[in-house]
Amino acid sequence: MLVQPSNPDQRCTVTGGSGTLGGGDVTTVQVDCAPFAWVQITTGEMHSCALDADGGMVCWGNNMEGQADVPATQDLAQIEAGSRFTCALRLDGTLTCWGWGTSGQTTPPAGSIHQAVSAAYDFACALRTDGSLDCWGTSRGPVPAGNDFTAVSANGFHACALRTNGTVACWGNNNYGQINPPALSDFTAVASGRQHVCGLRSTGELACWGRNQHGQTVAPSGTDFVAVGAGDYHSCAIRQSGALACWGFNDAGQTDVPAGTDFVAVTGGYSHTCARTQVGGVECWGWNGAGQTVAPLGLDFTAVTGGSNHACAVRHDNTLACWGENTHGRAVAPPGADFAAVSAGYHHNCALRLDGSLYCWGDNSTTQSTPPAGTDFTAVSSGSYHSCALRQDASVECWGETSSGQSPAPLGTDFAAVAAGGYHTCALKLDGSLQCWGRNVEGQSTPPAGTDFVALTADDRHNCALRQSGALVCWGANGSGQSTPPAGTDFVQVSAGSSHNCAVRTNGSLTCWGDNSYGQIDAPAGNDFVWVTTGWFHSCAVRSDGAVLCWGEAFLDMIAPG
């Protein structure tokens, strides 16, 4: 893999690409990097969102109401997650909302007149450019009049707003005194929880009021606080040192703050919390029932590979990220910033380091995670219970399960690529022909003739290859139509999954076919994809901006944000 390493606070654009990942493969991409960071985070009941410096956003977690389906735009100035809906402020001052909207909360007022937005349970409020307030959705009582407001925070069934004189005005439900702020005129920020509110004073102190069943209004003492946030039943704040402090309900670890002194913003959801770091990173913790704490991995990936119920990706800085089912530890990426490529197998992974050596982890029951020594490897592929790699001298070496003859590899120094499948292996030769070995019950080890092949991919019981003409050919098991590829000569990359496949076309669009039991072939629309990989029942793709998008089975947080 050709990469241009740079700092972790950069965004990368991926161009080019050949070969396949996810069954094992050869990769060539060009990566151009520029400064990048997340600039805002927001949390809803069970979803979270982040805004990037270019005005784009991502959401992750619960999407039953479409609250995580972000608009395809790069013109956003601020984002706000409500209970099961999301709102965003555009750069031109207009508003857009989506998700659950039965009370009109996703129908904001028209006009380019807003400068901030805040979303609650079934209503939302916005601050106008003239300092007045707008609210829509379920009415929570009279909205305070005036043109002297500087911020608004809505949550649950109430809202609070900060005036220019440092006082706070609140309205809505008051069953716990949440709309009765203290008579102070030195507030600089306000954050509403579900039934409580916390404010930051100019002295650096905190003041909280409302429901206190879980201690959420018992703020820590000190005069060194610079930011405040509130979840449904817990609260958080950031000290001048950049350290976090959280208090209140902790049934899911939402107040168990991560270590570090580089935090600049914090926000709370129902039972989870997210914070933004100085360099634009996002960390989330607490309840993860809908994947809401699986923070966005960033817009900095160069390749992604899908395993059985897990996936891994390579960042532009040569680090690895993995997610999904973690049996045998396969979803825990190894440390280090020296990885050039990675291939995910059934319950294990293998990665190629920049020095040409191999590193494997996960299940090792058949020694599939015990790679050979050496620093002359150029590609690696993980199968079900075996692995294979290509050396600089064009030879192939395989290790692990040998029951069906999938390992060891045949002798020869005329190989250009290798792909490890279930119980078989296929290789592309330097002359453009294909050779396969191992189990052949369904013809998976009987490749088509020809010397015009440029890439191949293998999975459990079938394979696909790309011809020089841009056409696809597949062979082996075909019970779900996975070995009947679409017609056309405009394909540039292909990946084989368990019983489905996906391919990238020259126009950057995706085409998938085969089994669709979990929506794994329902590829997202768009013409900006540069890479695709397929697992057992899910698929993932890399966009040109380096973001990763996944679809299909969401097993144990399989679907990564991006």
CA distance 25 to 295: 28
Contact call for residues 431 and 411 (beta carbons, < 8 A): no
Q: What domains are there in the chain, each with its CATH number? A: 38-286 (2.130.10.30), 301-552 (2.130.10.30)
State the pTM of this model: 0.59
Cβ burial of 285 (10 Å; 0-12, 13-18, 19+) is: buried
Contact call for residues 34 and 391 (beta carbons, < 8 A): no
CA distance 380 to 359: 10
The one-digit pLDDT tens for each residue of the chain (562 residues) are 222 223 334 444 444 443 333 333 333 334 444 445 678 999 999 898 988 888 888 888 888 899 988 887 889 999 999 999 999 999 999 999 999 999 999 999 998 899 999 999 999 999 999 999 999 999 999 999 999 999 999 999 999 999 999 999 999 999 999 999 999 999 999 999 999 999 999 999 999 999 999 999 999 999 999 999 999 999 999 999 999 999 999 999 999 998 888 899 999 998 999 888 887 777 888 887 755 555 555 556 777 787 877 888 888 788 888 877 788 999 889 999 899 999 999 999 999 999 999 999 999 999 999 999 999 999 999 999 999 999 999 999 999 999 999 999 999 999 999 999 999 999 999 999 999 999 999 999 999 999 999 999 999 999 999 999 999 999 999 999 999 999 999 999 999 998 999 999 999 999 999 999 988 999 888 888 888 988 888 888 888 777 777 888 754 343 343 3
Which helix (H) or strand (E) segment holds residue 163: the answer is: strand 158-163
CA distance 209 to 195: 9
